[in-house]
Structure 1
Amino acid sequence: MFGVEDEATEAAVRAYVKLMRASHAVLARTQARLAAAGLTHVQLGVLEALLHLGPLTQRDLTRKLLTSPGNLTDVIDKLARRGLVERVQCPEDRRSVRVVLTADGRRFIEELFPRHAGDIAAAMGGLDGKDLAALDALLRRLGLAAAGD
C-alpha cells in the first residue's frame, strides 16, 4: 500500500500516520484556549514545567520540551516581556541562569493549567482509564525505543 513490501514496515507506517493524526486532533482541541490566553503550546510547556518542577535552566527546559535552544530563547524572551517569567543568575554557578515564574506567571499558569488539562481530557474522552493506561505504556515504550534508550 505504501510502496513497501515488508509487512512490519507497512504496519509501522500505518501506526505512525494514525499517531500523527491523533496528535494533531488533540492539539487542535486545546488550541483555542491557548490562543485566547496568548500562548503557544511551547510557551505553555515552559510555564507548566516551571510550575511543576520549579526553576530550570534553559538547557533543562530545552531537553524537557524537545525544542531548539534558539526557539526556547525566543519563547522565554516573549514570556519575560509579558512578566510571566524571569531569568535569575544561579548563586552557586554564575555562568548558569535559571528561568523562574514570576508571581504573575504563577497565578496565570495556576489558573490556566487546570482548564487546559480539562481540554486534554475532553479531547481524549474516547478512551477510558484502562485504554489511557495502555496508551501511556505503549507511548513510553515507543519513545524510549525511538530515542535509542
Structure 2
Amino acid sequence: MDKDVQQSLKLFIVLSRAYRAVNEYTNDFIQKNGLNPTEFAVLELLYHKGDQPLQQIGDKILLASGSITYVVDKLEKKEFIARVACADDRRVTFAHITEKGKQFIESIFPEHQNRINQVMSVLSSEEKEAAILSLKKVGLNIRNLPE
C-alpha cells in the first residue's frame, strides 16, 4: 500500500479515536448534569445565539430535523426553553431560552468550557491553531470530491 494512503488511513483512525475520547469525556459531564448532549447543544445555542427558528436548529447543531421536536419537547418540560410564535409569519416558531434555562446553562457552562480547555491544554497555542486550520481544510475539501 502506498505510504500516503497508509498515512491518510492512520490519520483517520487517530482523528476518530481522539474525537470519540473527547466526546465521551464532555458528554459524561453533560449527562451527570441531567441533559443529553443534544439537549445541551440546543440550550447552549439558544444561550449564545438567542432565539432560533425551530426549523433551523437542526442545521446549526448537526441534528436531523425530525429529532428537534423531541428535544425541544424535553427541554420545554424542564422549563429551560419555550416555544414562541413569530409575529411576522405564523408558520415559524422560535425556541426561546427561559430564565431557568439561562441559570442552568450559566451554572454548568464554565465547567464544560474548563474541561474542554483541560483536554486541549496538551497542545500549545500554535499547535491548536495549526490543528484548527488543518481540520477546516480537510472538512472543506469534501466539497471538491466526486460523490
TM-score normalised per structure 2: 0.90
Q: What is the alpha-carbon distance in structure 2 between the residues aligned to residue 41 and residue 146 of structure 1?
A: 26
Q: Any unmatched runs of 5+ in structure 2? A: none
The answer for the alignment partner of 2:64 in structure 1 is: 68
SS at match of 1:83: coil
C-alpha distance in 1 between matches for 2:13 and 2:32: 29
Match of 1:40 in 2: 36
Q: Secondary structure at the match of 2:90?
A: strand
Letter in 1 for 2:97: L
Residue 106 of structure 1: aligned partner: 102
Q: Are the aligned partners of 2:31 and 2:37 in contact in 1 as well (CA < 8 Å)?
A: no
When the two chains are superposed, the root-mean-square deviation of aligned CA atoms in Å is 1.7
Which of 54, 57, 64 is matched with 2:53 structurally? 57
Query: Deviation per CA, 1:95-128, whole angstroms, max 9, x where unpaired?
Result: 0001110110011112211110111111222111
The Cα of 1:130 is off from its aligned counterpart by 1.1
- Which ranges of structure 1 fall in alignment gaps of 5 or more residues? none
- CA contact 1:85–1:100 (8 Å) conserved in 2: yes
Distance 1:119 1:92 in 2: 41
Deviations 1:22-57 (A, max 9, x none): 011111222332112111221111111111111011
Partner in structure 1 of residue 134 of structure 2: 138
Are 1:95 and 2:95 an aligned pair? no
Contact 1:26/1:124 (8 A) holds in 2 = no
Distance in 1 separating the partners of 2:54 and 2:3: 42
Determine which structure has greater relative contact order: mean sequence separation of CA pairs < 8 Å that are 6+ residues apart, divided by chain length.
1
The 8 Å contact of residues 56 and 99 in structure 1, kept in 2 or not, is answered as: yes
Q: Which residue of 2 aligns with 1:81?
A: 77
Change (3 A) 1:52 1:28: same
SS in 2 for 1:67: coil
Out of 111, 116, 122, which is 1:115 matched to? 111
State TM-score, norm by structure 1. Answer: 0.89
